Structure 1
Amino acid sequence: MQKWTSRIETPIKAELICYDVNGIHIVFGVTEENQLKLFHFSHAPFDAENLCRKPDGVWMMEGMREAQIKESFQLVQVNFSGYNRPYEKHGNKYIVTAPGFMLKFDSISEERNENGDLLRIVQSDDVTGAKVESVMQFFDGIPVARMYNTVTNEGKEDQTLEYISSFSYWGIEKEQKEGIPELVSSDDKMSMVVVHNGWQKELTVKKYRFADLGMAQTQPHNYQRTSKTIEITNTGNWSAKEYVPMGYIGNSAADSSLFFEIDHSGSWHYEIGDQNCHFYLAVSGPTEIQSHWSKNLKPGDSFTTVPVAVGVGHDDFEEAIGTLTKYRRKIRRPNKDNENLPVIFNDYMNCLFGDPTTEKEFPLVDAAEKAGCEYFVIDAGWYADGNWWDSVGEWQESKKRFPNGVREVTDYIRSKGMIPGVWLELEVMGINCKKASILPDECFFLRHGKRVYDRSRYQLDFRHPLVIEHVTEVIDRVVRDYGVGYIKMDYNIEPGIGTEVDADSFGDGLLEHERAYLAWLDGIYKKYPDLVIENCSSGGLRMDYAMLARNSIQSTSDQEDYRNYATISANAAIGVTPEQAAIWSYPLRDGTKEEVIFNMVNALLLRIHQSGHLAEISPERFELVKEGIDCYKEIRSGIKDGVPFWPMGWADNEEKHLAAGIRVPGDVIYLGVWRRGGEAGFEVPLDRAFPGKELEVSCIYPKACGDVFHYDDYSKTLQIHFPETYMARLFQIKVK
């Protein structure tokens, strides 16, 4: 960490504290009023003049400059009830908060730990008694900081906290490359990438100009502020039901980017707005306006925000995702699953679909072992005689389905050299579950004195000791009695804004429940360090790194059509590290060879969730499954250290031709290429693969690839000819 200080009189009057940490240029300013400002957090170098130029490039008048600096650039936005917010802000923006704008600078200190450098910044306000400590944890070799803020009430009166940011930054548009004479309008240079998400529509990625989202430059240049904001919000316990909790902002005129992820499994919010001729970004967990969250702080009480990781780089989305991939590996619990990447068979998708029996399982176990699978998971239904949706919660085996018990099947799985697993959904109880009628109401989410329903289930509250006793007993029992080493932990409801039980607000109850759930999960891993728990929420609806810093594998989707799954597969590494992204491969009973290959290519660069009626497909098609798994075992050691590569850009649901790869150590790229209609012939540009190097391209799955490709080294293009409408192949690209 490099640090230096300097004094700038014009255009701002402040003592600057500057840091360069892993390529992140950070500039704090301490004003003459002893207020701390975050002037700069960027890959681009700092230019103080950009702070006080209007969008037309003209200098602000001195009075306007002073007002802008005074009102803006706070490091933390924190709002207590009952205090005036005097400065111009227009609407419900999370800026000019009180005591946020009143905080005075106390101290900044540097530390060193096992991850890298750490900054600790303290501010306080005498009027409200607020003391705020901001932490920036850096990671050696990665331009990312993990940030959170803790506010403490050091006053003599109770305070109600309505909002506190995890990260707040003004001037996200201010940089511009040297040599560009005119200041480029934000309409022309600023963009953002939003990762939309939804059931069976996971990881739909779209890029927007700020102007496309209603933030065009339409006001006089002497004031740039409006009531409009660009808001991306999640409210509830499915953290990714509409968006993956992450964002990317690009500045093409500076060739710089600011990107982030919110490492939280519940309600969160971020917004981009404008004020005093600058755009700002405010990122947080739950809020009062969006998610019914507030927190009462008695004298001496503290509250800590959810963590947010913020990175910088060139204006290059692929580079940003590569950086986030490395960060995600840094914060993740060390585990064997993400080192070894075992192949998992699961009996659900396009197979038993939640209707398992001993009779049905044995041939599937034989087929999975023959194909080369290493885990075998009995999915939903093993605990109920018939329809089970609204009666789940006790997790006792069905003797009708398994006359000799589930242990008979799990022992058989073990005898075949595979590790058995089962499906659970421990966070809920069906409304017709007997135990749900015995447990007190306080074990469940309550609002307005009533239990919260969703899809015929109740939401358990993990703050209650009876709930912890219940769910721990279930884990202990399936591990002990069934010998399982894998749990598919599903979660299929959305309980909404939270609970009123022992909470200052509905959102407060939800957040404290989520933190209790994570603490319970930490305890389970301490007891069973080699247990694999799959993070599933109706597929990928809780795709976040509060969960994935703990659980080693993520269900990416319930998508049932392998052709549509290609989009999710190609984009999976945007939201999840490749070795954590479980992709279904489910050959149809009566499909074709090309359908099997397409299914396998979907999964080969990530984690294989094999399914389908393997015991009933033709021998030729089964051999293609086995060949795909054999190929995966040859390349998976590189996948766990690889970063994504999109030679044609990220995938879109409407695109007919897709290409996505993993760049692994040793100058090798494994590349999946898909056709879903469109022209039979198309080109995949490889000029960015290894610039300036001669390449060797080969098809590694299937081995009988067919005459479907040619690599032209002069144009650096992979020329594809897929004669069938739906085809896919896996290629290896390496330096000669």
Structure 2
Amino acid sequence: MSLLHWSTPDLTLTFTLADGPVRLVAVRETTQPDGPLPDPSQPLVEVSAIGYGHSSNRHANTVLGQRLRYVRHEDSETTLRILQEDPESGLLVTSVFEARAGVRAWSEASMTQPGTLELTFLSSLVVGLESVDAELYSAANSWMAESRWSAQELRAGALADIVSEGHHHVANTRHAVTSTNSWSCGERLPIGVLVDRSTAYAHGWQIEHNGPWHYELGESRRGGYLLLSGPTDLEHQWTVELTEDKPFTSVPVSLVAGTDRDSVFAALTRQRRAIRQRRPIDDRMPVIFNDYMNTLLGDPTTEKLLPLIDAAAEAGADYFCIDAGWYAEGDWWNTVGAWQPSTTRFPNGLAEAIKRIHDRDMVPGLWLEPEVIGVRSPIAGELPDDAFLTRRGIRIAEGGRYLLDLRSAAARKHLDDTVDRLIEEFGVGFFKFDNNTVTGPGTDKGGTSLGHGLLEHNRAILDWLDGIHTRHPDLLIENCGSGAMRMDYAMLSRLHLQSTSDQEDPLLYAPITAAAPAAVLPEQAGHWAYPITGTTREQFTFALVNGIPGRLYLSGHLNRITPAELELVRSALAAHREILEDLDSLVPAWPLGLPGWTDDWIALSLNGPETTYLTLWHRAAGPATISLPIPRATITPHFPADDTDWTYTWADDDVLTVTAHTPEPSARVVRLTHTRERT
């Protein structure tokens, strides 16, 4: 067997190069001792085209994928390229691997001879698995109920074992997870972790695309497979014509490995940091006050903003973002697009409120939903049809909005002029870019398939964002899409902050905060903290705790709070800033498991080599006690720092017993200083 071994700082990949298509047969941590190699039968690439289909919903065992043969590979310190060809059709596929913390991979397809192929599917990466006797962690995602992780046994669902003596077929089924439409996270997160039940081994992955994607797991003749891809014909109405002059590149994906669930999520955290296009301004990590959540709710005016601006400054905010409504005279949903300040909301001009933000030594920010034009907006008539996504020549209109096509020069100019004007006129240093309207399956403008038109548009969005950063290197941009409906690392490799939810109930925000680091870097996870005056001290504290283990995104009517409540807000920000000093090096873990939506107890640990920050929520009436598997450490209350209502004792060196003595739901952040080497 001809083998190719290639390593990153954390992983070693092993490929077979002979006896059929190239196969990725092993993905191991570099520290893992060598052992017998598995021999799964799954090819590295799956690809299909019109005229080369196969009779299955699975994207495995494709005709063209089976016909590919190794040509050569090109190896450097950071990149591996494996070339395979099907001489009969002229298809050449290059599998590209980038060494980061894990690996980043994609496929490049081209033709080596005259003729065309109409591709209907191209995998970004296919990994051969030793077995499918494994547990899959994946997450449902929806507006105000984001990051709901669960675990399931593959054998208990689609991948039933039907192999028996004398009957050696495998089930022609799959476990498929698919996202449609333009919200990459509209129903599911593009992330998974697979833990082998028979060995101390696990894989983790993410698909880095701001639109439709697909992954599936299935059983093969020998072992199984994990397949990762962007849009497909079967799931997303995607095809693309391939010729000598028109190659195609799939969406990128990342792959990591570990020994269990939490070690894989730690590896995904390191990989996200490695692929993030971090700029000097990203090091600032300011505390941002936003006037929306549980506060002005899209109805800002000068009269309402000025006292809020003063109060946010008094509390210690660094940036102040004016959220939705600043551009509207009345109902604004289907009139957006011009992005000019309202004259009725701001009789003396928006500059009056912006000046107050500057005068209070904060950086001003504005909410913007750049990719839509309301059907009643004057801009809808001023821009040509080419500026919009269309189907059969008709503008796509969803929920009273037309959708800009970012491939269009007219659309790009409109948005560039808008962003540049607002920065120049008001000194804006922060934008909250929202996205509340989905596209449907895509656009056929220019003769493309619907799915490919959407893919090109999604890629144009990324290019547009790159252009903004080039022109405005000190600008910070928050990624929001009805909360976290586009929480993917195509967007987050470029943008500073991610809204983790629009959830208005602090009790329901707790599992979202706790689960978010499985999908997004802690230093990018913007958690709303909206303390409400007049609530009990525990309720007030609970709302603040939600923001502390990530990026505290401050809101609430701070101008109405009492001096004692203001002091509690200030102490929360001080506790948060202390975590910020180390946040971009901490890795998440979940001592009680990934949080369930209705769990009474929730725990998130952000681990560093010397200090761990443990956030605990108890969402039922108390008192109550819980035990957590945590190595012995010195415990200090972090927020509230003067807490005496929760107690912590060690049952032994690796079990912490926590008691919440409060009669109502409550939450705490504690600091653990390690007194011995952590395991």
- When normalised by structure 2's length, the TM-score is 0.96
Q: Give CA-to-partner distance per residue, 1:164-214, whole Å, 9 cap, x none.
A: 0001122342xxxxxxxxxxxx5xx41100111110110000000002322
Question: What residue in structure 2 maps to residue 280 of structure 1?
Answer: 225
Question: What residue in structure 2 maps to residue 250 of structure 1?
Answer: 195
Question: What residue in structure 2 maps to residue 481 of structure 1?
Answer: 425
CA distance in 2, matches of 1:684, 1:568: 22
CA distance in 1, matches of 2:38, 2:516: 37
Question: What residue in structure 1 maps to residue 266 of structure 2?
Answer: 322
Question: What residue in structure 1 maps to residue 328 of structure 2?
Answer: 384
Compared CA separation, residues 650 and 722, structure 1 to 2 (3 A): farther
Q: CA deviation at 1:423?
A: 0.4
Does residue 405 in structure 1 map to residue 349 in structure 2? Answer: yes
Question: What residue in structure 2 maps to residue 61 of structure 1?
Answer: none
Q: Give CA-to-partner distance per residue, 1:50-75, whole Å, 9 cap, x none.
A: 438xxxxxxxxxxxxxxxxxxx4211
Q: Give CA-to-partner distance per residue, 1:309-334, whole Å, 9 cap, x none.
A: 011111x2111111111111111122
Does the 8 Å CA contact 2:177/2:214 hold for their aligned counterparts?
yes
Compared CA separation, residues 590 and 645, structure 1 to 2 (3 A): same
Compared CA separation, residues 223 and 472, structure 1 to 2 (3 A): same
Question: What residue in structure 2 maps to residue 714 of structure 1?
Answer: 652
CA distance in 1, matches of 2:325, 2:271: 37
Question: What residue in structure 1 maps to residue 13 of structure 2?
Answer: 26
Q: CA deviation at 1:45?
A: 6.3
Q: Give CA-to-partner distance per residue, 1:6-50, whole Å, 9 cap, x none.
A: xxxxxxxx32223444353422223256x4232222346676674
* 1:592 aligned partner, one-letter code: T
RMSD: 1.7
Question: What residue in structure 1 maps to residue 612 of structure 2?
Answer: 669
Does residue 102 in structure 1 map to residue 71 in structure 2? Answer: no
1:132-281 matched pairs, under 5 angstroms: 132-139=93-100, 142=101, 144-173=102-131, 186=132, 189-220=133-164, 222-281=167-226
Compared CA separation, residues 358 and 31, structure 1 to 2 (3 A): same
Q: Give CA-to-partner distance per residue, 1:227-266, whole Å, 9 cap, x none.
A: 3211100111110011111111110211111110001100
Q: CA deviation at 1:96?
A: 2.2
CA distance in 2, matches of 1:29, 1:703: 57
Question: What residue in structure 2 maps to residue 302 of structure 1?
Answer: 247
CA distance in 2, matches of 1:545, 1:618: 41
Q: CA deviation at 1:698?
A: 1.2
Residue 500 (structure 1) aligned to one of 441, 444, 465: 444
Does residue 125 in structure 1 map to residue 86 in structure 2? Answer: yes
Question: What residue in structure 2 maps to residue 82 of structure 1?
Answer: 51
Does the 8 Å CA contact 2:8/2:103 hold for their aligned counterparts?
no
Q: Secondary structure at the match of 2:320?
A: strand
* 2:110 aligned partner, one-letter code: T
Does the 8 Å CA contact 2:218/2:224 hold for their aligned counterparts?
yes
Specify every segment of 5 or more residues in structure 2 that has no aligned partner in the other structure, as ranges: none
CA distance in 2, matches of 1:32, 1:668: 51
CA distance in 1, matches of 2:670, 2:487: 28
Q: Secondary structure at the match of 2:596?
A: coil
Question: What residue in structure 2 maps to residue 9 of structure 1?
Answer: none
Q: CA deviation at 1:446?
A: 1.1
Compared CA separation, residues 36 and 277, structure 1 to 2 (3 A): closer
Q: Secondary structure at the match of 1:226?
A: coil
Q: Which moved more, 1:367-376 or 1:250-259?
A: 250-259
Residue 27 (structure 2) aligned to one of 32, 38, 41: 41
Compared CA separation, residues 376 and 253, structure 1 to 2 (3 A): same
CA distance in 1, matches of 2:192, 2:585: 23
Question: What residue in structure 2 maps to residue 60 of structure 1?
Answer: none
* 1:701 aligned partner, one-letter code: F
Does the 8 Å CA contact 2:407/2:456 hold for their aligned counterparts?
yes
* 1:135 aligned partner, one-letter code: V
CA distance in 1, matches of 2:635, 2:290: 33
* 2:477 aligned partner, one-letter code: I
* 2:672 aligned partner, one-letter code: I
CA distance in 1, matches of 2:316, 2:87: 66
Does residue 344 in structure 1 map to residue 288 in structure 2? Answer: yes
* 2:87 aligned partner, one-letter code: D
CA distance in 2, matches of 1:629, 1:272: 44
Q: CA deviation at 1:482?
A: 1.2
CA distance in 2, matches of 1:219, 1:484: 63
Compared CA separation, residues 275 and 307, structure 1 to 2 (3 A): same
Q: Give CA-to-partner distance per residue, 1:375-399, whole Å, 9 cap, x none.
A: 0000000001111011000100001
Q: Secondary structure at the match of 2:615?
A: strand
CA distance in 1, matches of 2:130, 2:338: 51
Does the 8 Å CA contact 1:172/1:281 hold for their aligned counterparts?
no
Q: Secondary structure at the match of 1:203?
A: strand
* 1:99 aligned partner, one-letter code: L
Residue 258 (structure 2) aligned to one of 286, 293, 313: 313
CA distance in 2, matches of 1:708, 1:442: 61
CA distance in 2, matches of 1:526, 1:50: 47
Q: CA deviation at 1:686?
A: 4.2
Residue 434 (structure 2) aligned to one of 484, 490, 503: 490
Does the 8 Å CA contact 2:322/2:365 hold for their aligned counterparts?
yes
* 1:121 aligned partner, one-letter code: I
* 1:646 aligned partner, one-letter code: W
Question: What residue in structure 1 maps to residue 2 of structure 2?
Answer: 15
Does the 8 Å CA contact 1:123/1:131 hold for their aligned counterparts?
yes
Residue 551 (structure 2) aligned to one of 588, 599, 607: 607
Specify every segment of 5 or more residues in structure 1 that has no aligned partner in the other structure, as ranges: 1-13, 53-71, 174-185
Alignment identity in percent? Answer: 35
Question: What residue in structure 2 maps to residue 69 of structure 1?
Answer: none
* 1:367 aligned partner, one-letter code: A
Question: What residue in structure 1 maps to residue 635 of structure 2?
Answer: 697
Q: Secondary structure at the match of 2:585?
A: coil
* 1:97 aligned partner, one-letter code: T
Q: Give CA-to-partner distance per residue, 1:519-544, whole Å, 9 cap, x none.
A: 11101000101101100000000000
CA distance in 2, matches of 1:329, 1:22: 14
Does the 8 Å CA contact 1:131/1:151 hold for their aligned counterparts?
yes
Q: CA deviation at 1:684?
A: 3.7
Q: CA deviation at 1:337?
A: 5.0
CA distance in 2, matches of 1:734, 1:713: 17
Does the 8 Å CA contact 2:288/2:554 hold for their aligned counterparts?
yes
Q: CA deviation at 1:277?
A: 4.2
Residue 535 (structure 2) aligned to one of 591, 615, 621: 591
Q: CA deviation at 1:336?
A: 4.1
Number of residue pairs matched by the alignment: 671
Does the 8 Å CA contact 1:224/1:275 hold for their aligned counterparts?
no
Q: Which moved more, 1:221-230 or 1:647-656?
A: 221-230
Does residue 51 in structure 1 map to residue 42 in structure 2? Answer: no
CA distance in 2, matches of 1:172, 1:286: 27
Question: What residue in structure 2 maps to residue 635 of structure 1?
Answer: 579
Compared CA separation, residues 23 and 253, structure 1 to 2 (3 A): farther
Q: CA deviation at 1:679?
A: 4.9
Question: What residue in structure 2 maps to residue 11 of structure 1?
Answer: none
Q: CA deviation at 1:678?
A: 5.5
Question: What residue in structure 1 maps to residue 391 of structure 2?
Answer: 447
Q: Secondary structure at the match of 1:391?
A: coil
1:543-622 matched pairs, under 5 angstroms: 543-622=487-566
